Chains A and B, each alone.
Chain A
Amino acid sequence: MSDNLGNLELIHVFYWLKELLLSTGLGEPYVTIVSYVVLGAVTFGVLALLALFLVWWERKIAAHIQQRFGPMRTGWHGWYQTIMDAVKLLQKEDVRVDKRDKFVFFWAPVVCFVAAFLAYVVMPFGNQLIVADLSIGILYVLAVTTFTVISLLMAGWGSNNKYALLGGMRSAAQVVSYEVPMVAAILTVIVYVGSLSMVDIVEAQSGLFINWFIFKLPFGPIAFIVYIIAATAEANRVPFDIPEAEQELVAGFNIEYSGMKFAMFFLAEFVNMFTVSAIAVTLFFGGWNGVFLPSWVWFLGKTFLVVLLLMMFRWTYPRLRVDQLMEFAWKFLVPLAFANLILGSIMKYLGWYW
């Protein structure tokens, strides 16, 4: 269905590199390791570029929603503003608080970024454009992205700062609560696919857009809305950003961080936002499926639309209180998500879908 012209070229470059490595006389296991390292570095580069773009885009959208211009001085509409920000953060002094827990304080940003980064092992960027099609796909993504919570708790505890500790604790309570409805929404899709692999999920939606799960599932829109609310909370974004609520906790868990360590938290936040959007696209909007254009263009285009949705949430909704947040998760989203799961599986059994 989809024209994967662009993909095949990318894949051919990869195989050509692998052949080149094999011809130098290295053994097969070493070549596999080297090729995965190269893929990891390439993925990191792509993610860094994406994060730079998303930060700029978010600032522009925020500005235009508030009838401002946003960054305008650096290049055309400030297009290299975030690159200059990254260069500036690279040269900033690393101010460290004296009473910190040295080990935990140092490793928190590393764990935070690696947890966000690991999800990209199974991310189906396009037809065959996937690092490794693990058979546990979506379960694996849920498992590794949850490590972000541990890093936020590490940052909160390691800083020895009351604001940071409050931010870390709130984030733990919040992510833990919204994990349950999110998984229930994902399971609704899994019941119809019968596989956890990301590639199988996308291929089950091939064909016209009517086959996308948001339309195909009996209550697809409900599953999607539950997922997107829970995903916003998972990514710690407004209206669920109480872990870093600027007005009450100053900056929450990353209050004592500066320079490159702060930059890593920031990068991980935007990578996480892209991850949850990409998974929403994979589960509900047909992933790379589309016509005429290469499949990775479809995937990125759809993902950017979902990211745009998350950004518009951020700049148009007020922040919730902690108690409202928890009650909303446990008293509304969890029952709704599980009711949807039960109804969806009953309809799957009866065959009431196309």
Chain B
Amino acid sequence: MSEYLSVLIFAVTGAAIVLFTFFISKLIRPHNPYPEKGVTYECAEDAIGDSWIRFNPRFYIFALIFVIFDVEVIFLFPWAVAFGELGLFALVEMVIFILILFFGLFYAWKKGVLKWV
């Protein structure tokens, strides 16, 4: 388990070093805010409204297809590791599995989901 401890320690160390550089920079940098500096940057135009708004659902559909494929990949990882011992049965199974998923991708493709606009 001590190997996995290194991951935690690296995360904490990395964050600490980044925060430390922020702190060093805070000590030596000037601090002179005035209202114009805090305005949202939009190429010299005044921003109209917030940007916390509803967004294009295209991203949502791509995310949905991604989730399906990502779950497939999670199944593929143990299969790939144990492939040497499993033999023909696992190979046929996995080819069928991938083909079923590609049937889904093909369906989405024909439905026009993969077009951007």
Interface residues of A (CB under 8 A from B): 32-33, 36-37, 39-41, 43-44, 90-99, 109-110, 113-114, 117-118, 120-121, 131-134, 139-140, 157, 159-165, 169, 172-173, 176-177, 179-180, 183-184, 187, 190-191, 194-196, 250, 255-256, 259-261, 263-264, 322-323, 326-327, 330-331, 334-335, 338, 341-342, 345-346, 348-349
Contacts and interface: CB of A to CB of B under 8 A. Distances in A.
B10 A118 contact: yes
A177 B83 contact: no
Contacts of A92: 25, 29
B13 A177 contact: no
Contacts of A134: 3-4, 7
B15 A121 contact: no
Interface of B: 2-7, 9-11, 13-15, 17-19, 21-22, 24-26, 28-33, 35, 37-43, 47, 50-52, 55-56, 58-59, 62-63, 65-66, 69-70, 73, 76-77, 80-84, 87-88, 91, 94-95, 98, 102, 105, 109, 114-117
Given A99-B50, A110-B15, A260-B21, A184 B73 contact: yes
A134 B10 CA distance: 14
A44 B13 contact: yes
B83 A194 contact: yes
A125 B37 CA distance: 44
A97 B41 contact: yes
**Interface residues of B, dominant DSSP:** helix
B107 to A, nearest CB: 13
A177 to B, nearest CB: 6
Most buried by A among B21, B30, B70, B117: B21
B84 to A, nearest CB: 5
Contacts of B73: 180, 183-184, 187
A349 B7 CA distance: 36
Contacts of A326: 62, 114, 116
Nearest to A169: B59
Nearest to B95: A342
A179 B116 contact: no
Contacts of A263: 21
Contact of B21 (A90, A95, A114): A90
A165 B4 CA distance: 35
Contacts of B19: 110
Contacts of A33: 5, 9
Contacts of A341: 76, 98
A63 to B, nearest CB: 28
A195 B81 contact: yes
B10 A121 contact: yes
A284 B73 CA distance: 20
B42 to A, nearest CB: 7
Nearest to A251: B41
